[in-house]
């Protein structure tokens, strides 16, 4: 009897080792499958080392004024009965612009929205490893490809496009404390941008050696955070949100007048859009129509006037800017749509 037990012990140990080996092998196989899934679905699609492609040698415009109203959803200015909020943009849209809804993708946040607008790429899947707070891989943009670019607005946005501190990109942002104060007076954030733009243009007009300012292929980027701040704090149906929209609309023709006065060559193109929309309860990030449908209005030099609504993808804006002023397309741009007249 004891002899039989002693003979069975090695067999039990061998079986035990086999079970452990099988479990370890299973864990390794599952780990390999998980790694393959992450490599396929969460690796960056951005490919470096490609040769830039020039959009055109005969651009219809010399400069682009690019205005982004952060957090402005399309139906806040396009829906029937809402146009009274934006008489100036409505007049531009109906008489001398190409316009429609630009469709975004999730996540409907400011950083990926601006990357889509200016780089022509969607959110980098590998950003999940940074909790969606930053782009893990450097990307090309129209700001980078421009002859010169001047950017005004929130430090979180305008500084994102010049991490390498390139000399032809000039960023001006308000102190984060002003951004916190703006929660009580959201329009103040946008007024800061308009006033600093006005002062900048006045300075350039007097400057005798500011040759970069007069070059072709320049971009002037205005990031307006007030509407988004009002939406978060007071909701999109609030008086604060509506009044901030009216403030932006009030200053749009003033911005155009300033540029047309300093550049009386009819060679300035204007683009007005948003990075994302907003839900009725003041949030964004998901994929509802209120979050993914944003306004797009383009007018000025090189823009084909359209009487009817013409919808585009958000990533189509970057190559449009490139084609308008004859700069290289952003290297990784995925877009293919143009509104050149």
**Is 117 found in the same domain as 25?**
no
Indicate if 35 and 152 belong to the same structural domain: no
User: If 0-12 CB within 10 Å is exposed, 13-18 middle and 19+ buried, where does residue 10 land?
Assistant: exposed
* 230 and 320 share one domain: yes
Structural domain count, the chain: 2
**One domain for residues 98 and 183:** yes
Rounded to the nearest 5 percent, the helix, strand and coil shares of the chain are 50, 15, 35
Q: What percent of the chain has pLDDT over 90?
A: 70
The dihedral region occupied by 170, where left means phi > 0, alpha psi between -120 and 50, and beta the remainder, is beta
Residues 37 and 104 in one domain: no
Please write the tens of the pLDDT for every residue from 48-87: 667 888 999 999 999 999 999 999 999 999 998 888 899 9
Binning pLDDT at 50, 70 and 90, where does residue 2 land?
very low
Strands (E), 60-122: 63-69, 97-103
Residues 6+ apart with CB under 8 A from 180: none
Rounded distance between C-alpha atoms, residue 305 and residue 325, angstroms:
18
In DSSP notation, 120-188 reads -----GGGGGGTTSS-SS----HHHHSSEEEEEE-HHHHGGG-TT--TTEEEEE--HHHHHHTTTSTHH
Q: Model's pTM, two decimal places?
A: 0.87
Structural domain contains residue 51:
no
37: domain range? 1-41
CATH number reported for the structural domain that contains residue 235 in this entry = 3.40.720.10
Task: Identify whether 333 is part of a domain.
Answer: no
Calculate ∠ Cα 185-66-131, nearest 5°: 70
What would the pLDDT profile of 219-236 be if each residue is shown by its tens digit? 999 999 999 999 999 999
**Does one domain contain both 73 and 32?**
no
CB 114 within 8 A of CB 330: no
Same domain, yes or no: 166 and 246: yes
Q: Could you tell me if residue 282 is inside a domain?
A: yes
> Rounded to 5 degrees, what angle do the CA atoms 298, 215, 253 make?
35
User: Residue 252's pLDDT is what?
Assistant: 98
């Amino acid at each position: 009897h004891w002899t039989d037990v002693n003979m069975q012990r090695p067999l039990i140990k061998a079986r035990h080792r086999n079970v452990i080996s099988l479990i370890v092998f299973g864990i390794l196989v599952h780990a390999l499958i998980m790694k393959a899934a992450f490599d396929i679905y969460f690796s960056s699609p951005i490919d470096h080392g490609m040769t830039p492609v020039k959009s055109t040698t005969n651009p219809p415009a010399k400069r682009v004024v690019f205005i982004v109203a952060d957090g402005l959803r399309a139906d806040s200015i396009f829906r029937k009965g809402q146009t009274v909020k934006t008489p100036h943009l409505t007049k531009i849209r109906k008489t001398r612009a190409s316009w429609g809804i630009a469709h975004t993708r999730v996540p409907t946040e400011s950083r990926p929205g601006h990357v889509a607008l200016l780089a022509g790429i969607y959110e980098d899947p590998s950003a999940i490893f940074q909790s969606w707070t930053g782009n893990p891989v450097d990307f090309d943009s129209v700001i980078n490809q421009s002859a010169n670019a001047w950017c005004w607005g929130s430090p979180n946005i305008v500084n994102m496009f010049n991490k390498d501190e390139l000399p032809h990109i000039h960023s001006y942002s308000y102190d984060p404390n002003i951004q916190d104060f703006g929660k009580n007076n959201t329009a103040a954030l946008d007024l800061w941008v308009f006033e600093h733009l006005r002062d900048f243009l006045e300075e350039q007009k007097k400057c005798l050696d500011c040759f970069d300012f007069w070059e072709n292929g320049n971009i002037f980027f205005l990031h307006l955070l007030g509407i988004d701040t009002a939406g978060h704090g007071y909701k999109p149906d609030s008086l604060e949100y509506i009044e901030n929209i009216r403030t932006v609309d009030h200053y749009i023709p003033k911005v155009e007048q300033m540029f047309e006065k300093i550049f009386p060559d009819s060679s300035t193109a204007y683009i007005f859009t948003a990075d994302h929309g907003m839900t009725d309860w003041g949030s964004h990030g998901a994929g509802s129509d209120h979050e993914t449908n944003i306004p797009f209005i383009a007018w000025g030099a090189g823009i084909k006037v359209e009487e009817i609504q013409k919808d585009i993808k958000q990533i189509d804006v970057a190559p449009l800017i490139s084609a308008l002023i004859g700069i290289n397309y952003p290297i990784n741009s995925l877009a293919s749509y143009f509104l050149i007249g």
